[in-house]
């Protein structure tokens, strides 16, 4: 009899431990972080393996090279089409590449791509410093033309070109790449410096959408589940939150990262 009692006590102890663990799931202490982590993994899997889209991007190198400064004495003189340059002259490199998984073919360009200074400053010279293998990117820039046009055969992921240009103006002149890509729209401006505040603001839409989805799921499904299975609903809500949050980051998140050309 004493042996049966000891066995019953052991089973009661084990049952009590399991009930405590299940209780943690019911209260969401374990279910919420578990579901959220699984949701993040699910969202990552979707973005990496299933979402294929073109993403023509461009980034301006934050490091620029002043060649001439207007009003400052210098032994250096520069002539452009037999005219001496007396204004500011600056050099900059701009990376243009496909940051998406879908190939961008030349016939995917619905509106011609044009790179120019936002203030319409003169671009004296432009050339491709380097291109990724097989991209076959070419640019077109004539004397006195303030616009750089470009084309290619096909851009795989991370393929593109690094354009070096010399323009009239100081290091604060901004540049714009306009055009239209099938399945994407306008090119995406990428910044190579990270701003914590800006990244936080840009992540808000994904958090808001994920929260709305989760609240709806909680109101519709979780309340209808039996009390013993509430942990399953909590797990599902947290999972959906993680998936939607990561997908939102993919579409709305920060565009700050390094280019394939080292900056």
Show Cβ contacts of residue 101 under 8 Å, excluding neighbours closer than 6 positions.
51, 52, 53, 157
47 and 98 co-located in one domain: no
* pLDDT at position 11: 47
Spatial distance between the Cα atoms of 75 and 211, rounded to a whole number of angstroms: 63
* pLDDT at position 10: 47
Is 10 a member of any domain? no
- Say whether 150 sits in a helix, a strand or coil: strand
Please report how many Cα atoms fall inside a 13 Å half-sphere around the Cα of residue 164, on the Cβ side: 9
* pLDDT at position 171: 92
Is 238 a member of any domain? yes
The DSSP output letter for 136 is -
221 and 177 co-located in one domain: no
Going residue by residue through the chain (263 aa), what tens digit of pLDDT does each one get? 444 555 444 444 555 655 555 555 555 566 667 766 777 677 667 666 666 789 999 999 999 999 888 767 566 677 777 677 778 999 999 999 998 889 999 999 999 999 999 999 999 999 988 776 666 788 998 877 889 999 998 999 889 999 999 999 999 999 999 999 999 999 988 876 655 455 555 556 666 776 776 667 666 666 666 666 666 667 777 777 777 776 666 566 555 567 888 77
Give the domain CATH number at 112: 2.60.40
Number of Cβ within 10 Å of residue 35's Cβ equals 24
Domain boundary among 166, 183, 200: 183
* pLDDT at position 84: 77
175 and 252 co-located in one domain: no
* pLDDT at position 251: 60
Output phi, psi for 127, to 5 deg: -155, 155
Q: Which domain holds residue 222?
A: 29-52+192-263
pTM (2 d.p.):
0.66
Is 61 a member of any domain? yes
The DSSP output letter for 19 is H
Q: How many domains does the chain have?
A: 2
Spatial distance between the Cα atoms of 14 and 108, rounded to a whole number of angstroms: 64
């Amino acid at each position: 009899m004493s042996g049966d009692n000891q066995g019953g006590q052991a089973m009661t102890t084990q049952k009590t431990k399991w009930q405590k663990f299940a209780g943690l799931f019911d209260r969401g202490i374990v279910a919420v972080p578990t579901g959220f982590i699984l949701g993040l993994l699910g969202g990552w899997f979707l973005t990496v393996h299933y979402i294929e889209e073109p993403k023509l991007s461009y980034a301006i190198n934050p490091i620029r090279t002043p060649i001439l400064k207007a009003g400052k004495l210098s032994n250096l003189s520069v002539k452009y089409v037999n005219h001496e340059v007396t204004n500011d002259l600056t050099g900059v490199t701009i990376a243009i590449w496909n940051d998406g998984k879908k190939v961008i073919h030349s016939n995917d360009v619905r509106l011609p791509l044009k790179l120019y200074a936002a203030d319409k400053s003169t671009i004296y010279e432009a050339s491709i410093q380097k291109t990724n293998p097989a991209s076959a990117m070419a640019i077109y820039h004539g004397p006195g033309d303030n616009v750089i046009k470009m084309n290619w055969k096909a851009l795989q992921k991370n393929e593109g070109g690094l354009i070096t240009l010399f323009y009239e103006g100081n290091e604060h002149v901004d540049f714009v790449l306009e055009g239209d890509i099938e399945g994407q729209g306008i090119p995406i401006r990428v910044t190579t410096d990270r701003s914590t505040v800006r990244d936080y603001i840009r992540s808000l839409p994904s958090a808001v959408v994920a929260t709305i989805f989760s609240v709806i799921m909680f109101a519709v499904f979780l309340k209808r589940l039996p009390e013993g299975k509430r942990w399953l609903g909590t797990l599902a809500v947290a999972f959906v939150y993680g998936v939607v949050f990561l997908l939102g980051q993919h579409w709305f998140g920060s565009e700050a990262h390094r280019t394939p050309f080292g900056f």
